[in-house]
């Protein structure tokens, strides 16, 4: 008998959730008022922070400019300032209530670099713990998340600075 691990929630990502002509998912999140449904942690004037729906680990956030831009060269000064202020807030929130021992901050620029959404610039903030790279990612191409996204959202929001 073979054991199976089901990750059906990843089907939309694996099969290519968006079709040509569909609105950019990050632009749609920027416009949607249902912050809980979209797992938006916080919105500023020019950027927002959102939980990644396909996280590497619990608390994996993205900070995204609201304006649809694809490269660092297109970002305006005010956007860059707010973007990196939000990155700082994310690091502080993940270091606090989430209890991350370390944090990866980065961008995947272009499909060959691993960008799932290559045409809308965004920054990944990924909390890390000693020993968190377990056998599941290596042997089963799966990730084990010990907490549901709504619970993670509540913990991170509780530590996010108010404007």
Q: Give the active site residue among 60, 120, 122, 124.
A: 122
Cα(130)–Cα(153) distance, rounded to whole angstroms? Answer: 22
Establish whether 122 is a catalytic residue: yes
DSSP state letters, 32-75:
-S-HHHHTEEEE-SSEEEEE-SS-SSTT-EEEEESS---SGGG-
Question: What 3-state DSSP class applies to 125?
Answer: strand
Catalytic residue set: 122
């Amino acid at each position: 008998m073979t054991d199976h691990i089901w990750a059906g929630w990843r089907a939309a990502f694996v099969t290519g959730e968006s079709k040509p002509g569909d609105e950019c998912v990050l632009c749609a999140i920027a416009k949607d008022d249902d912050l809980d449904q979209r797992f938006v942690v916080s919105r500023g004037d020019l950027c927002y922070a959102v939980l990644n729906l396909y996280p590497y680990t619990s608390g994996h956030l993205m900070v995204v400019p609201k304006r649809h831009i694809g490269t660092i060269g297109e970002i305006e000064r005010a956007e860059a300032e707010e973007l990196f202020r939000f990155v700082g807030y994310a690091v502080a929130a993940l270091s606090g209530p989430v209890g991350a021992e370390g944090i990866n901050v980065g961008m995947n620029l272009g499909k060959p670099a691993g960008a799932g959404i290559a045409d809308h610039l965004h920054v990944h903030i990924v909390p890390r713990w000693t020993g968190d790279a377990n056998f599941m990612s290596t042997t089963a191409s799966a990730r084990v998340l010990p907490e549901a996204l709504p619970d993670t959202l509540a913990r991170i929001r509780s530590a996010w600075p108010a404007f």
